[in-house]
Amino acid sequence: MGSGRTLVENRRARFSYEILETVEAGISLEGTEVKSIREGKANIKEAYAEIRGAEVFLVGCHISPYSHGNRANPEPLRDRKLLLKASEIRRLQGKVAEKGLTLVPIRMYLKGRLIKLELGVGRGKKLVDKREDIKKRDQEREIRRSLRDH
């Protein structure tokens, strides 16, 4: 979806969830949070997005206090508002409500001077599906290895 330099990535998202579609969202951040994210000092592994009324929030995203910041550094685990169009929020709300899907942050990246969040609409994978993914990945690795050696 979005192109740009990836700052933070949730590598477990595609392993734990079957991502059906992705959406680009802006994030409402305070000054020193932007600097911390640019340094790569953010963690979205445990994060998820939650729809409250007509707004979407990123919950559980940890952004470390900026090293050169002052005592006005914001709370590292605070909920952050995601900036989406009202029509997108309504569409996502419908999907999450009826089909039991989850909004999973996949990565944070730079788009020009702005920090964007790639948000995936996903369904949680069962243990069997995860095992199949691991098996498939191992088979592909073996094929690449044998092709390289010959």
**pLDDT tens string 38-94:** 888 888 888 889 898 889 999 988 888 877 766 667 777 888 899 999 998 988 888
Task: Write down the architecture of domain 6-125 according to CATH.
Answer: Beta Barrel (2.40)
Phi, psi (deg, nearest 5) at residue 15: -80, -40
Residue carrying structure tokens 């707004």: 55
The domain locations on the chain are 6-125
Is residue 113 helix, strand or coil?
A: coil
Tens digits of residue pLDDT in 92-104: 888 888 777 888 9
What distance in Å separates the CA atoms of residue 130 and residue 117, rounded to the nearest whole number?
A: 25
- The answer to whether 60 and 27 have CB atoms below 8 angstroms apart is no
> In the numeric block, which tokens belong to residue 132?
């199949």
